[in-house]
Amino acid sequence: MADRLSGKRILITGAAQGIGLAIAKACVAEGARLFLIDMDGPLLAREAEALKAAGAVLGYTAADIADAAKIEAVVAQAGAEIGRLNALINNAGVNVFSEPLATTDEEWQRCFDINLKGAWNCSKAVLPGIVSEGGGAILNIASTHAFTIIPHTFPYPLAKHALLGMTKSLGLEYAAKGVRVNALAPGYVSTQKVIDYWNSFADPEAAKAETMRLHPGRRIATPEEIALAAVFMISDECPFMNAATLTIDGGLSVQQHP
């Protein structure tokens, strides 16, 4: 175990699988205390207990980040179990992909409740404690959808664009109080969400092959590669990085043609 995150008490959302779980494991390895939340209670309990059995200091509970009152209670619970939080990783998100005119009110609401409002609920709940601690860090897991558009993925990019706006706004608002707010923008990552996306096509293997072809390195990221960047951004190794976004997509978003 290293100690790059020694003294960090971090709330991680969407921590039961994929990028969130990889980040949790990486943070534990660097000496952080964690409080994990996810909507999938049984899966979260299984993964959290496995981490605890391996020596992690953490608490966890099932929670819907769209429920502001619940998140306030979660932050209080986290403070009682691992100490007052001084860092937050807003990882929880949901894919809502449609064509604009086919998007229902329910899809729109679900997209923004989780991908934007949920991140704000968590940020609002932890910020007073972070400020009172003399500073800390918030990391929003955004997406390359936050600055590029893929047809038929509406309204997901709208919510991710707004998440970058919130990142910049909060970063500037609380900079003088020692709070850094940044975003991490992954591209395609080998998570269940991406597998589900491929499986939505008539020929999943062809869809997967096309995804790989789009990337300069002919592969996509692993959750562990995203976690490495998250550890850096939540640590004290980049103390002057604020209101910024780090892109990790293998060069996909900067090429004009594949």
Bridge partners, residue 154, by sequence: 98
251, part of any domain:
no
Q: Which residues are catalytic?
A: 156
> Percent helix, strand and coil across the chain, each rounded to 5?
50, 15, 35
**Phi/psi at 50 (5° precision):** -65, -40
Average pLDDT over residues 185-213: 94
What domain range includes position 19?
A: 9-186+224-246
74 and 202 assigned to the same domain: no
The per-residue DSSP string of 144-158 comes to GGGT---TT-EEHHH
CA distance 184 to 223: 13
CA distance 35 to 74: 9
4, part of any domain:
no
Average pLDDT over residues 166-180: 98
170 and 199 assigned to the same domain: no
The mean pLDDT of the chain is 96
pLDDT of residue 1: 55
CA distance 59 to 239: 27
138 and 47 assigned to the same domain: yes
* Residue 2: band (very low, low, confident or very high) from pLDDT cuts 50, 70, 90: confident
List, for residues 25-46, the tens digit of each pLDDT value: 999 999 999 999 999 999 999 9
60 and 155 assigned to the same domain: yes
- Displacement of CA 218 from its chain's centroid (Å): 24
Average pLDDT over residues 112-122: 98
In the predicted structure, residue 167 carries a pLDDT above the cut 70 = yes
253, part of any domain:
no
181 and 233 assigned to the same domain: yes
Average pLDDT over residues 67-78: 98
45, part of any domain:
yes
Higher pLDDT, 192 or 56: 56
160 and 212 assigned to the same domain: no
Q: What CATH number is given to the structural domain containing 99? A: 3.40.50.720
* Residue 105: band (very low, low, confident or very high) from pLDDT cuts 50, 70, 90: very high
153 and 119 assigned to the same domain: yes
pLDDT-above-90 percentage for the chain: 96
How far CA 144 is from CA of 17, 157, 187, 189, in Å, comes to: 20, 9, 5, 11
Average pLDDT over residues 130-144: 97
127 and 141 assigned to the same domain: yes
Give how many domains the chain has, as a whole number: 2
Helix pair 204-214, 192-199: axis angle to 10 deg: 120
195, part of any domain:
yes
pLDDT of residue 226: 98
51, part of any domain:
yes
The H or E element containing residue 160 is: helix 156-173
Instruction: Provide the whole-model pTM.
Output: 0.96
* Residue 125: band (very low, low, confident or very high) from pLDDT cuts 50, 70, 90: very high
96, part of any domain:
yes
